[in-house]
Amino acid sequence: MCGIAGKVVHGLGAVVEPELIHRMTAALVHRGPDAHGVWTEGGVGLGSRRLAVIDLSDRAAQPMANEDGAIHLVFNGEIYNFRELRTELEGRGHRFRSDSDTETIVHLYEEEGAECVRRLDGMFAFALWDARTQALLLARDRLGEKPLFYWHDGRSLVFGSEPKALMQDHAIPAEPDEEAIDHYLTYGYVPAPWSAFKEVRKLAPAHYLVARAGQVEVTRYWSLSYNPKREESEAALTEELDYLLGRAVERRLVADVPIGAMLSGGLDSSAVVALMRRATSGGIKTFSIGFDQPEYDERRYARSVATVFGTEHQELIVRPDAAALLPRLVYHYNEPFADSSALPTWCLSEMARTGVTVALSGDGGDESFLGYERYGASRLAGRLDRIPRPLRELAVRGAGCLVSGSARSSTTRLRRFASGLATDPVRRYGRWISVTLDEHKADLYTEDFARRRACDGSEFGDSSLGLLERRWAESDAVSAVERLAHTDIAMYLPDDLLVKTDIASMAHSLEVRSPFLDHHVVEFAARLPVAMKLRGRTGKYLLKRAMASRLPQTVLHRRKAGFGVPIDAWFRGRLGETARDVLLGKQATERGYFETTTVRRFLDDHATGKAQHHARLWSLLVLELWHQTFIDRRGEMLTALPL
């Protein structure tokens, strides 16, 4: 696992200074504290910060070259089928000088060129310079576990694992991308291919980029298909799922450093721990996070799983004063990122790193096996579409009159469910998952900012929800619920959940591996009949069948909770005072994005309990701190919340 960065400049006499690559990789030291490597030649520079996990020797150092030095590679991630590939490549005459998975990519590229990415089973982002063709290859894994950003101006291409590495090149402007900010305010994250920085882009998951002679070509190499549906018996499918997940876990246990697991007590992470125990008789360390508020605290479930499988278990309680970590989170996340569960994920990663270097997680199970409650709600809402639209609109107005409850109250859930009943399935889904709806933006945006956004337009439609419609249209799924799952796999999973885990873990030099993101498991799940995933109100039906003999019944059949954070209560305390000082302060108001009266109303209504604006307030607070860190100070971390 590493942080990678580099620059390629085209043209006669082009030179990339080693000092620039050193600065870029120094900004990524947290991603790889064990080793540092830089290679430059003419207009090409590659750099790496290494977290040693497989083959801890210097033989695995990066940048890594082939025998004649025509190819140089920097690589971030893990290739889980590297041993099989190595055997095949050795059979073709290739000779290896290390035991690392990195070297497998070098030799596989020699055989198959850019199409080698189709053979890789793992999580990865890499950059490969081929001196023979004078081309740079950038590639990213299928599901988007590992990040890769780039900037291209026609002559130069600069890339890195995080934008803060790119910002070391002062040719790149530290300016906000206002279209990206608009999307961020809708979703709470910046969706690919945008980044929060003007002219900086993300390489999307399942894509590779070839840069040659100043031209850039991006190719998609993998797509998820939901057809044809599997027709085997339930018993046969259960057995196959058990095999695929077991193999995915076993492959992710290969390391030359200590390995543990992040254990929430939910089905997915518990299943991972159960399969870890099946694969090894050795000690397993597990780590959990809890809260003082009972409705958010899942530690009792995690403890029960830890007891069943005899793990060495550690816990940590996250309290409101943890919000003081916000400046560090903003710095490490590089872009405005409003998923408040980044805070406990950060604390969990910090705790886990004290005992292990690699941790397995349950990320990805909900999207593949239809575990989110919103999937069942979507199917129910689809049935209600038979009711005449005027009656559904009446239900929407009636739900709007309900008194606001806590973030997880039944009243709040009902209000959110009813809010989308009068629209089509994908727009309804957009309303459910949005942080800031279009009607809120109309009050929130200043006239000037709204006018700029209207003039800029978007290739995807009139609003950010057009992104969901595009993903919906791309899917070959027949059922509406699977199309919604596809939009989550294309957007929410790589741009929110996996960013959250990658950044929080790598900030502490911890590698996280997710067996549910094995693309064989994901492809298997996609082709299951819907009833094998969502049966009645029961999500993850087949997964529960596969785990029925392994996990406690309380874990198998408990209600989906999610990794929530009680920021609704926190914003009625000291965090609310902090947000008021920051969001109504001079720096924020002079940016000209938001109407001060609307921001004040959000703060007042939430403080009095008149409305639930905690997610929106968190997104605005994070956005302002991001501006202060990366736009005003070009990546210099704030030492404290500005009060």
Q: Which domains does the chain have, with CATH numbers?
A: 2-178+192-220 (3.60.20.10), 234-319+332-370+487-556 (3.40.50.620), 373-475 (no CATH)
With cut-offs at 50, 70 and 90, classify the pLDDT of residue 459: very low
Across the range 565-591, mean pLDDT stands at 93
pLDDT of residue 502: 98
Strands 511-513, 71-79: pairing kind: unpaired
Q: Where are the alpha helices (DSSP H) in 531-628?
A: 541-547, 553-556, 567-570, 574-583, 586-589, 596-608, 614-626
How far out from the chain centre does Cα 219 lie?
21
Reading the block at residue 110, the tokens are: 């020699």
User: pTM (2 decimals)?
Assistant: 0.93
Tens-digit pLDDT profile for residues 597-612? 999 999 999 999 998 8
| 638: pLDDT strictly greater than 80 | yes
Angle value at C-alpha 610, between 375 and 380, nearest 5 degrees: 20
Across the range 338-343, mean pLDDT stands at 94
Across the range 168-186, mean pLDDT stands at 96
Show which residues are catalytic: 2
pLDDT of residue 398: 57
Burial 95-115 (b: 16+ CB within 10 A, else e): eeebbbbbbbbbbbbbeeebe
Lowest mean pLDDT among 110-124, 195-209, 233-247, 386-400: 386-400
User: Which of 171, 170, 173, 160 shows the shortest CA–CA distance to 46?
Assistant: 160
Q: Measured between alpha carbons, how far is 133 from 95 in angstroms, rounded to an integer?
A: 23
Q: Measured between alpha carbons, how far is 618 from 223 in angstroms, rounded to an integer?
A: 34
pLDDT of residue 461: 45
Check residues 99 and 640 and name the one with the higher pLDDT: 99
Percent of the chain as helix, strand, coil, to the nearest 5? 45, 15, 35
Lowest mean pLDDT among 45-49, 358-362, 386-390, 472-476: 386-390
**Chain position carrying tokens 């290390």:** 98
With cut-offs at 50, 70 and 90, classify the pLDDT of residue 460: very low
Question: CB of 37 within 8 A of CB of 62?
Answer: yes
Question: CB of 596 within 8 A of CB of 584?
Answer: yes
Lowest mean pLDDT among 50-54, 144-148, 272-276, 527-531: 50-54
Across the range 518-524, mean pLDDT stands at 98
pLDDT of residue 417: 60
Reading the block at residue 544, the tokens are: 């529960």
Across the range 293-317, mean pLDDT stands at 89
pLDDT above 70 coverage of the chain, percent = 91
pLDDT of residue 438: 81
Residue 8 Ramachandran class (φ > 0 left, ψ -120 to 50 alpha, else beta): beta
Q: How far apart are the first and last CA of the chain?
A: 37
| 405: pLDDT strictly greater than 60 | no
Give the DSSP H or E segment for 441. helix 438-444
Across the range 360-385, mean pLDDT stands at 88
Across the range 395-400, mean pLDDT stands at 58
Q: Measured between alpha carbons, how far is 551 from 265 in angstroms, rounded to an integer?
A: 10
Q: Where are the alpha helices (DSSP H) in 204-262?
A: 234-251
- pLDDT mean across residues, the chain: 91
User: Which of 244, 145, 273 shows the shortest CA–CA distance to 528?
Assistant: 244
Q: Measured between alpha carbons, how far is 414 from 412 in angstroms, rounded to an integer?
A: 5
Tens-digit pLDDT profile for residues 45-100? 999 999 989 877 788 899 999 999 999 999 999 999 999 999 999 999 999 999 99
| 402: pLDDT strictly greater than 60 | no
Give the DSSP H or E segment for 203. none
Tens-digit pLDDT profile for residues 57-66? 788 899 999 9
